């Protein structure tokens, strides 16, 4: 199997955590896609994922699977024990419900803020955004407000249960964790009053699949190009 992604980025991190949880890292070849250079918007990459985003999984038979949820479901089911996406109908339903909320309220919301209300990944990607800066900034800032209320919502959930979808660690925890990682990189911390969310984040950060994960850091070249 091949994974097209970029080290250090939040949606790729979701799949790298899944691979570590499922002990599949050695079975995957990582192909690095130059996001800052807009490689993911060129025809060769769009043939793999017409949405022009990473990660993408390529199976050995040449099938391309994109979208974090779909990739996670595939990898989670390989060993017949899909603990991250649910082994019973009830678990599957609750995990997918919370996963969708985490996508909408957190990881997509902070992504829109980052790409549209800040310089994002820089010059090469400006052509793929609205040319109207005021419009873009307003949209991004509305999205940041959505992210802030999403953090409040997930704080209230985690004040009453150990994981995002209930008792057990799941795909929904991974998505919330990656969204908070993106927010932190974009200068948006967890507000101090959201203590249940912060305590959960600290606990998840200690899981071996998160703590020892390869590809946590941005590539040195990316940091330089982004001006860090
Ligand atoms: N819904 C997609 C989101 C993927 C996504 O937004 N990936 C980001 C990297 S973290 C990306 O490729 N961004 C490039 C861009 O928006 O130009 C998924 O679940 O895979």
Do 130 and 197 fall within a single domain?
A: yes
Question: Using CB atoms within 10 A of its CB, is residue 131 exposed (0-12), middle (13-18) or buried (19+)?
Answer: exposed
Q: Are residues 103 and 201 in the same domain?
A: yes
Could you tell me the CATH number of the domain that includes residue 79? Answer: 3.40.30.10
103 and 195 assigned to the same domain: yes
Shortest-distance Cα residue to atom 13 of ligand 1: 53
The confidence score (pLDDT) of residue 224 equals 86
Residues 99 and 135 both lie in one domain: yes
201 and 93 belong to one structural domain: yes
Ligand 1 center–CA 11 separation, angstroms: 6
Measured between alpha carbons, how far is 4 from 76 in angstroms, rounded to an integer? 18
Tell me, yes or no, whether 77 and 110 share the same domain. Answer: no
SS3 6: coil
pLDDT of 188 reads 96
Q: What is the mean pLDDT of each run of 10 residues along the chain (228 residues)?
A: 97 98 97 95 97 98 98 98 98 98 98 91 81 89 98 98 98 98 95 98 97 88 83
Structural domain range at position 26? 2-83+214-225
> Which atom, in ligand 1's list, is nearest to the CA of 11?
10
Mark whether 220 and 196 lie in a shared domain: no
CA dihedral sign, ordered 132, 134, 135, 136: positive
* CA–CA dist 175, 210 (Å, integer): 12
The dihedral through the CA atoms of 203, 18, 225, 50 has a sign that is negative
Are residue 103 and residue 200 in the same domain, yes or no? yes
Q: Given this model, what pLDDT does residue 132 score?
A: 85
Cβ(215) – ligand 1 distance below 6 Å: no
Overall number of domains in the chain: 2
Specify whether 99 is located in the same domain as 8: no
Same domain, residue pair 219 and 195: no
3-state secondary structure of 168: coil
pLDDT score at 74:
98
CATH classification of the domain holding 204: 1.20.1050.10
Q: Is the CB of 53 under 6 A from ligand 1?
A: yes
Is 117 found in the same domain as 41?
no
């Amino acid at each position: 199997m091949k994974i097209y992604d970029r080290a250090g980025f939040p949606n790729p991190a979701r799949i790298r955590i899944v691979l570590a949880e499922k002990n599949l890292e050695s079975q995957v070849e990582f192909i690095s896609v130059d996001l800052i250079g807009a490689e993911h918007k060129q025809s060769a990459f769009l043939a793999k994922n017409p949405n022009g985003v990473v990660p993408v999984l390529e199976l050995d038979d040449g099938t391309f699977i994109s979208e974090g949820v779909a990739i996670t479901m595939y990898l989670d089911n390989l060993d017949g024990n899909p603990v991250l996406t649910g082994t019973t109908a009830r678990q599957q339903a609750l995990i997918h419900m919370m996963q969708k909320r985490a996508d909408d309220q957190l990881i997509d919301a902070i992504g829109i803020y980052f790409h549209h209300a800040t310089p994002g990944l820089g010059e090469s990607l400006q052509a793929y955004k609205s040319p109207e800066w005021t419009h873009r900034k307003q949209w991004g800032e509305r999205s940041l407000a959505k992210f802030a209320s999403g953090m409040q919502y997930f704080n209230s959930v985690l004040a009453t249960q150990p994981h995002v979808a209930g008792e057990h660690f799941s795909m929904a925890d991974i998505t919330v964790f990656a969204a908070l990682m993106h927010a932190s990189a974009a200068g948006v911390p967890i507000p101090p009053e959201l203590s249940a969310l912060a305590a959960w984040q600290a606990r998840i950060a200690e899981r071996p699949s998160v703590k020892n994960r390869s590809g946590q850091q941005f590539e040195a070249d990316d940091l330089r190009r982004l001006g860090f």
